[in-house]
Structure 1
Amino acid sequence: MPWYIKAVLRVALPAACLAALYLSIPGEVALAKTAGWSARYAPAMPVCLSVYALSAGAIATYRRKAKLPGQATALIGALMALLLAMSAQSISHLIEQTYMEGSALLTVAVSCIPPLVIGHLIHMAETPSQAVSASEEIDELREANSHLLMALIEHEGRALLSRTVAVLDVTKRLEVEAGTAVEEAAVTLDSIELDMSPRKRGGTRVTGQDIEEARERLARDSGEKPTVARVCEFLGISPATYYRHKPAEQHTADALFATA
């Protein structure tokens, strides 16, 4: 902002305001004397009218900028104050220049000015119920945010609980399915073991001839002489059973073959 604009706002504007108030004093004092006030009380009329007009205008401007209720009544009061001040000046000068004379109606009207000014100033000075301080607004915002946060936490908690229950249900179902799969695997394994030991099914006992046939079959399939362990695995028997059905000379041959 240029320096001369600052000078106007800080010096010229207050000076003009004071000059206007000073010029209003004679006419408003004369009007008060015409209405019947004595020389002791008449000088209060300029303060009543001029300062009232200034106050009403300032309050109206503040409420408009702050978007507070009561803007219309404050603006109407400011306009009425200006009209009263201008009327007082005009009427007092007309009476002083003998263009008009006082009357009972004029006396009543001027006498009603002070109570009307007091009533309207009190009305404008009252703090609107909607107007709150910054700290109160912060407290209200914090409370609203707190309620919103609690509602959000409750909602998310319910959703999480619902998802947890669903996961537990799926886990239980998978556990049951896993148990069933294990049982089926055990049955399958038993079946495979039976298939790997065909000679033992139905309670059939292994004989020496079975061992010989198994040795010949394994030798034919692999092209090499099978070991005792391989024959026992194929027949599903123990080494003790194997040696119980084999001649002693065969034991020695098998031991030599295994060592080689």
Structure 2
Amino acid sequence: MTATPWYIRGILYVALPAACVAALYLSIPGEIALAQTAGWSDRYAPAMPVCLSVYALAAGAIATYRRRMELPGQVTALAGSLMALMLAMSAQSISHLIAQDYVGSSALLVVAVSCVPPLTIAHLVHMAETPTAAKTTSQQMQELRGVIDYLSEELTASLAAQTLTLVSRASTVVGELEEARDIAESLVDEAEELAGELEKGLKGSSRKTATTLTREAVQRARQALEAQGETPTVEKVCKTLGVSPATYYRHREAIAA
């Protein structure tokens, strides 16, 4: 960034204040004369330059600051500064016109000049009471802490609610698992009982088959088949006895004994 030349800095710090002081000084006679024309005595008339000129400076400074800081109230401050400049310019012009006998005093002029002080006070109070968007660092930190505390409380409440929900669901799942375990144990017991019954049935069937497939039973079956004129083959003998050929061959040694 280029440094500001010395003569520019001199203008900013010397020339501008000097010009403002000179302008205020030149405005004093005309504004005092206008106040006297409106009816103020010599004791109070010197306050008119302070009312108009200082008001114009205050309104302009406030308008510039609010515009630079992007604060609310810029429009009213700017309007007030323009109105103050117009009042100061009008006061100078009217007072000089009256002094040179171009115009004379009138009721309208007296009323207008008399309204200047209350209007100035009203607008200055309005600018002073206009809410500002500027916040100190401590205020911002306090608001940030408030937001953090709020979010922490909301997060804690949410986590607590979710934890309770998960615990409830876990309890439900544990109950269902225990019920499933009981059902599985019951099924195992039933399967063991069924297996025992099947084993008993198979043993009884084996004894029955062994009893049925005796040598005498096979001989009787053969004799019956021969009596009917049929050849006593293994298949026919098994069919007569009601057993399968596999059972016949499995007990063949016992039959042949």
Task: Tell me the TM-score normalized by structure 2.
Answer: 0.62
Structure 2 residue corresponding to 1:38, chosen from 32, 36, 41: 41
Q: How far has the Cα of 1:84 moved from its partner?
A: 0.1
How far, CA to CA, are the matches of 2:168 and 2:105 in structure 1?
Answer: 93
- Determine the structure 2 residue equivalent to 1:253: none
Structure 1 residue corresponding to 2:115, chosen from 112, 115, 140: 112
- Determine the structure 2 residue equivalent to 1:53: 56
How far, CA to CA, are the matches of 1:181 and 1:8 in structure 2?
Answer: 99
How far, CA to CA, are the matches of 1:185 and 1:14 in structure 2?
Answer: 105
Q: How far has the Cα of 1:123 moved from its partner?
A: 1.9
Q: How far has the Cα of 1:95 moved from its partner?
A: 2.0
C-alpha distance after superposition, 1:101-142 (max 9, x if no partner): 2233222322221222122212222242x6574344443443
Q: How far has the Cα of 1:185 moved from its partner?
A: 5.9
Structure 1 residue corresponding to 2:174, chosen from 168, 171, 174: 171
Q: How far has the Cα of 1:67 moved from its partner?
A: 4.4
How far, CA to CA, are the matches of 1:40 and 1:110 in structure 2?
Answer: 17
How far, CA to CA, are the matches of 1:168 and 1:14 in structure 2?
Answer: 82
- Determine the structure 1 residue equivalent to 2:149: 146
How far, CA to CA, are the matches of 1:65 and 1:152 in structure 2?
Answer: 40
- Determine the structure 2 residue equivalent to 1:157: 160
Q: Alignment partner of 2:42: what SS? A: coil
Could you tell me which amino acid in structure 2 is paired with residue 151 of structure 1? E
8 Å Cα contact 2:71-2:134 kept in structure 1:
no
- Give runs of aligned pairs for residues 1-260 of structure 1, distance below 5 A: 1-4=3-6, 5-128=8-131, 131=133, 133-134=135-136, 135-181=138-184
Q: How far has the Cα of 1:28 moved from its partner?
A: 1.4
How far, CA to CA, are the matches of 1:78 and 1:159 in structure 2?
Answer: 60
Could you tell me which amino acid in structure 2 is paired with residue 2 of structure 1? T
How far, CA to CA, are the matches of 1:185 and 1:2 in structure 2?
Answer: 97
The verdict on how the C-alpha distance between 1:175 and 1:11 changes in structure 2, with shifts beyond 3 A counting, is farther
Q: How far has the Cα of 1:50 moved from its partner?
A: 0.5
Q: Alignment partner of 2:24: what SS? A: helix
C-alpha distance after superposition, 1:1-50 (max 9, x if no partner): 41434433333332222222122122212222322333333222111101
8 Å Cα contact 2:35-2:48 kept in structure 1:
yes
How far, CA to CA, are the matches of 2:9 and 2:162 in structure 1?
Answer: 62
Unaligned 5+ segments in structure 1 are: 203-260
Could you tell me which amino acid in structure 2 is paired with residue 104 of structure 1? A
- Determine the structure 2 residue equivalent to 1:256: none
How far, CA to CA, are the matches of 1:172 and 1:86 in structure 2?
Answer: 92
How far, CA to CA, are the matches of 1:174 and 1:120 in structure 2?
Answer: 79
How far, CA to CA, are the matches of 1:54 and 1:40 in structure 2?
Answer: 24
Q: Which moved more, 1:134-143 or 1:112-121?
A: 134-143
C-alpha distance after superposition, 1:192-225 (max 9, x if no partner): 9x8xxx9xx99xxxxxxxxxxxxxxxxxxxxxxx
Could you tell me which amino acid in structure 1 is paired with residue 4 of structure 2? P
Could you tell me which amino acid in structure 2 is paired with residue 155 of structure 1? S
